């Protein structure tokens, strides 16, 4: 699975993307975020408040209940605000 991080999530985690082997127990975007947070460090900081995080699955906006599978691309980013 390819995981992308944008804006302040990228800054906290220290990378813009990575390939991860999806654990069998991870079935949703939310479970993926929790699994990443459990890595500690910048991951824990980035996913400390998932209400501040949005996700896209294969380049389509989804909520954290969306199912994931190996080979998917998941992007995490902050909410977009306009001016």
Digit-coded pLDDT (tens) for 19-41: 999 999 999 999 999 999 999 99
* Residue numbers of the domain that contains 31: 2-77
How many structural domains compose the chain?
1
CATH of the domain at 11: 3.10.20.30
47-51: Cβ within 8 A, 24+ apart: 47/76
Residue percentage of the chain with pLDDT more than 70: 96
Q: Note the pLDDT tens digit of each residue in 45-78.
A: 999 999 999 999 999 999 999 999 999 999 999 9
3-state secondary structure of 66: coil
What pLDDT, on the 0 to 100 scale, is given for residue 80?
Answer: 75
Q: 82 in a domain, yes or no?
A: no
pLDDT band at 82 (very low <50, low <70, confident <90, very high): low
Q: 83 in a domain, yes or no?
A: no
Check if the beta carbon of residue 2 is closer than 8 Å to that of residue 19.
yes
Distance, C-alpha 65 to centroid of its chain = 12
Query: What predicted TM-score, i.e. pTM, was given to this entire model?
Result: 0.94
């Amino acid at each position: 699975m390819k995981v992308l991080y944008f804006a302040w999530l990228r800054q906290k985690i220290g990378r813009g993307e990575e390939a991860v082997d999806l654990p069998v127990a991870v079935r949703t975007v939310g479970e993926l975020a929790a699994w990443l947070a459990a890595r500690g460090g910048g991951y824990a900081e980035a996913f400390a408040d998932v209400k501040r995080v949005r996700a896209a699955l294969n380049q389509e906006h989804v909520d954290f209940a969306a199912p994931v599978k190996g080979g998917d691309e998941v992007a995490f980013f902050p909410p977009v605000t306009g001016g």
